[in-house]
Amino acid sequence: MGTLDGKVALVTAATGGIGRGIAEAFLAEGASVVMTGRSADKGEKALSEIGLPDRTAFLPGDARSQQDVAGWVASTVERFGRVDVLVNNAGGSDGFALVHELSDEAWENAFTFIVDSAFWATRAALGVMLEHGGGRIINISSVEGKLGNKAAVSHYISAKHAMNGFTKAVAFEYGTRGITSNAICPGAVETERTKEIGPAFAAENGLTYEEYLADYAKDAATGKLNTVEEVGAMAVLLAGPAGGGITGALLNVDGGTSPY
């Protein structure tokens, strides 16, 4: 028996990277998992590779669309009858620049993608969780949600700090009603998305992509990047029975990068 037998999880942006790692970790523990993503092709490919049609589903859409996000929660309930665990993994930023050159569009996109999407999904899921007597909210934040020591990513840093505050607010409001709310703050994890956006961010900091990865690794006490499996293991802890006493926490999976 797995620690998540009978549970239903909705994981946003789960066709690859950290989201995919969390989805697979949940499935290994017996949960049914609904994955979302912007690419229907990637979604179908993920379902085929996982090969558990009775316990998986994919929902297309954009986390920056309130209608899409609310629809994900409703469709999860329609498919599996409930939502026990919500993982707000979607989020990112673009238009990397120093503050005096940062565009309104880049700032707004980061907050919509990271903060608004988590709010919309959490608001919708809370209603379902309250009906069923409890649930788990897990926000995928970042080591940058605790630090502010990288240039050209003030929009990402600020949005992740906001996500951490939202995590604590939800924990306070719903702690007595069987719902926990926590954030995982990963260090650098090389994913498909990192490979897409990393070179541009590195260039803004005068680095090659390889130097950018090495810079993150040297900041960690372990001297290396983290893995999706490590983040997935933390998510399983928070989603399962052993995580019942943890709420309002901002939990590092960063190899010792953050000082707190």
Please return the burial class of 50, using the count of CB atoms within 10 Å of its CB with bins 0-12, 13-18 and 19+: middle
Question: Cβ atoms within 10 A of the Cβ of 44, count?
Answer: 13
**Containing H/E element for 209?**
helix 209-219
For this structure, is 216 an active site residue? no
63-70 contacts: CB < 8 A, separation 24 or more?
63/12, 63/13, 63/36, 63/90, 63/91, 63/113, 63/117, 63/121, 64/109, 64/112, 64/113, 64/116, 64/117, 66/116, 66/120, 69/12, 69/117, 69/120, 69/121, 69/124, 70/120, 70/121, 70/124
Please return the burial class of 182, using the count of CB atoms within 10 Å of its CB with bins 0-12, 13-18 and 19+: buried
Looking at the chain, the number of H-run helices and the number of E-run strands are 9, 7
Query: Which residues contact residue 105 at a Cβ distance below 8 angstroms, ignoring those fewer than 6 apart?
Result: 95
**Which residue among 156, 174, 212, 216 is the active-site one?**
156
Question: Which residues are catalytic, by number?
Answer: 156
